[in-house]
Amino acid sequence: MVDKDFAEINALQKVFPESAILLCWYHVSQAVNRWLSKSESGVHGLSNTQKRNEIISFFCKLKACTSEDDFKATSAEFCQTFKQYPLVCQYFQKHWEGIGHMWCDYGRRFSHARSETNNVIERFFHRLKYQFLSGYKNRHLDDLIEVLLGKADDYFSVIKTLQDVGRMKNRFADTLSQVSDSVSRLMESGWALKITVKNSHGVNAYQVPSESREDMVYDVCPVESYCNCTYGLRGLLCKHLVLLAKLAEADNDIYPNMETDISTLARIAVKERHYFVHCEDLKVIKMPSLFGNLCFFCIG
């Protein structure tokens, strides 16, 4: 996850061709805000404050798109909505429309620890430079290694202790607790009886009814960590996947464990040649998804 620095992005793509590169959402919104405030945007000044807010809100709508088709349709809607501001439309088309997969949710349909910005790592770098290294330039490499193995490790140990005793928030632990509570509620409500098996190519997928909408059923594939619910499509922790993991622990006959399905998926890939070697030196294998319309990169 980086800022919109194409020199950095191009270098990363060359060195790590198998990796997805995402743009920090904070820096995207900051860049858009700053441009809209310039005279060249045509919507600067106090008189256009409401219009700038509408444009920013529409960017948030674009950010929430969970498929490329949705993004294309919403992009067309954006240009139609603000057609009386051609400079705004040109700016969007030139700088953001072509790289939607780097800043919108449809490009983040894999687990990314709920991280939408690189602010946390930037804050750590600031602490590393000015607290641990005292702000001095050109420190020796051994100084940096000593800091990373000593002071930085101690610092994070203190943070973990504070989180464990409840004196500092742990966002991931809080989210995990909420999801676990939801899963317990579903299991107590007999949700297992409402789940149907959807077998594809010998790999088990499931249809799990929505808890909040009676007319909604989600497709869930544990072996690919895929669920087409709102959270699953955004690469966030999904209660439906956690529910199936809990059920697999209790009954392997109905819900085969992950190792079984992974082995089946591997046999399918080899038999039907659903893969190709992306980079021979690194043995990077690219394999299409059965359920999520994604591609997986595996480094051997």
pLDDT in tens, 147-196: 888 888 888 888 889 888 888 888 778 888 888 999 999 999 999 889 98
Model confidence at 233: pLDDT above 90:
no
pLDDT band at 230 (very low <50, low <70, confident <90, very high): confident
Task: Give me the percent of the chain exceeding a pLDDT of 90.
Answer: 37
Please tell me which residue, 232 or 23, carries the higher pLDDT value.
23
Please tell me which residue, 101 or 280, carries the higher pLDDT value.
101
pLDDT band at 38 (very low <50, low <70, confident <90, very high): very high
pLDDT band at 289 (very low <50, low <70, confident <90, very high): low
Residue type for 274, please? H
Average pLDDT value over all residues in the chain:
85
**What is the mean predicted confidence (pLDDT) over 230-244?**
86
**What is the mean predicted confidence (pLDDT) over 130-154?**
84
Over the stretch 79-130, which tens digit does the pLDDT of each residue have?
999 999 999 999 999 999 999 999 999 888 777 777 889 888 888 888 888 8
**DSSP secondary structure, the chain, as one string:** -B-S-HHHHHHHHHH-TTS---B-HHHHHHHHHHHHTSGGGS--SGGGHHHHHHHHHHHHHHHT--SHHHHHHHHHHHHHHTTT-HHHHHHHHHHTGGGHHHHSGGG--S--TT---SHHHHHHHHHIIIIISTT-SS--HHHHHHHHHTHHHHHHHHHHHHHHTTSS--HHHHHHHHHHHHHHHHHHTTGGGG-EEEEETTEEEEEEE-SS-TT-EEEEEGGGTEE-SHHHHTT---HHHHHHHHHHHH-TTTS--HHHHHHHHHHHHHHHT--EEEETTTTEEEEE-SSSS-EEEEE-
Instruction: Find tokens 């194409």 and name the residue.
Output: 6
> What pLDDT is recorded for position 124?
87
36-40, 77-81, 271-275: least confidently modelled range: 271-275
Model confidence at 291: pLDDT above 70:
no
